[in-house]
Amino acid sequence: MRILSGKETAEGIKLEIAAEVQARISAGKSKPHLAAILVGDDGASETYVNAKVKACARVGFESTLVRLDASISEEELLAKVKELNEDDRIHGFIVQLPLPSHISDQKIIEAVSPEKDVDGFHPLNVGRMVLGLPCFLPATPYGILQLLQRNNIATEGKHCVVVGRSHIVGSPMSILLARNSSPGNCTVTLAHSRTQDLKKITLQADIIIAAVGRPRFITADMVKEGAVIVDVGIHRIEDESSKSGYRLIGDVDFDEVSSKVGAISPVPGGVGPMTIVALLKNTLQAAGN
Ligand code: GUN
């Protein structure tokens, strides 16, 4: 069994990005600049945004963190988005999701200029992705493609079962893996909460992308011997033996599944770091030539 280490793979990609930033600077160009809007004080969102800001520093990007109170109105947030759209110093920005319930995620997503939408969530970028046109790919699926490619996981002709149909991960992942490109050319099954006899389907998978959002949902009896497993889930569970009082686990029961499969991404240290470098790659792309 091979561990698909997102942590190691991401380190290699960060070195490449840092070299490109240095080349930009030598050519008299600006540093890529990513901004992130964080609304409220959700612990998980805070952790993710801090990791993104830290990664920017590592590769020589500028970053701006815009912290807004959870009580901000939708109009005020839309005004902030407009301000960032119009700020020439910022090449790309993200609005960390989820937003407080009185604000429409979709309305905010659609207000972000498609040229600065480094999350790839704007309908224009989603549509261009579906058509295979140049666009910003959503960070998690983009990071997973990089993880597969850089670890020499063959995808052509393979049966890939994506479990979970979210707009952020499952749905775009299914489209990207089915595309006529490399990585890609998979035969894709998109399974979800209404799928009947899920186990019968996952047992046929050469590759499983687990993005259901339920801890240890994928168990050993659901996977074929030698399959490749990518675990997108991230859940905090209590763990008194750890200093923080908790630890992180995924959508896959790693301990029982890992002994049966050909390769598996761990949690933490798998998809998470790859999502961050995908965002950095998009920001570099947004900064242009
Ligand atoms: N919340 C969970 N994943 C993401 C992501 O990729 N981007 C943003 N903006 N919010 C998220």
Each residue of 21-77: pLDDT tens digit? 999 999 999 999 999 999 999 999 999 999 999 999 999 999 999 999 999 999 999
Mean pLDDT of 91-116: 98
Please say if the pLDDT value at position 153 is more than 90: yes
The whole-number pLDDT of residue 248 equals: 96
What is the mean pLDDT of the segment spanning 105-110?
98
- 52 a catalytic residue: yes
CA 13/CA 207 separation, integer angstroms: 23
In this prediction, residue 289 carries a pLDDT of: 81
Provide the residue count of the chain.
289
Residues in contact with 205: Cβ distance below 8 Å, sequence separation at least 6, in sequence order = 159, 160, 161, 189, 223, 224, 227
In the chain, the domains with their CATH numbers are 28-113 (3.40.50.10860), 139-271 (3.40.50.720)
Average pLDDT over residues 164-186: 98
| Phi then psi dihedrals of residue 22, to 5 deg | -60, -40
| Mean pLDDT (the chain, rounded) | 97
Alpha-carbon span 72 to 81, nearest angstrom: 13
The catalytic position among 14, 52, 80, 281 is 52
Give the per-residue pLDDT at 185: 98
Å from CA of 50 to ligand 1 middle = 13
- pLDDT band (50, 70, 90) for residue 109: very high
Condensed to tens digits (0 to 9), the pLDDT of residues 240-281 reads 999 999 999 999 999 999 999 999 999 999 999 999 999 999
Which amino acid residue places its CA nearest to atom 6 of ligand 1? 139
Residue from 14, 116, 119, 146 carrying the catalytic annotation = 119
Active-site annotation holds for 96: yes
Q: Going by C-beta distance under 8 Å and a sequence separation of 6 or more, which residues neighbour residue 289?
A: none
Task: Say which residue the tokens 């994928």 belong to.
Answer: 218
Pocket test for ligand 1, best of 66, 94, 125, 280 (most atoms within 8 A of CB): 94
Residue nearest to atom 3 of ligand 1 (CA): 97
CB of 139 shorter than 6 A to ligand 1: yes
Which residue CA neighbors atom 8 of ligand 1 most closely?
96
SS3 content of the chain, % helix, strand, coil (to 5): 40, 20, 40
Distance (Å) from CA 258 to ligand 1 centroid:
27
Residue environment code for 242-276, b if the CB has 16+ CB neighbours within 10 A, otherwise e: eeeeeebbbbbbbeebbebbbbbbbbebbbbbbbb
- Total-model pTM: 0.97
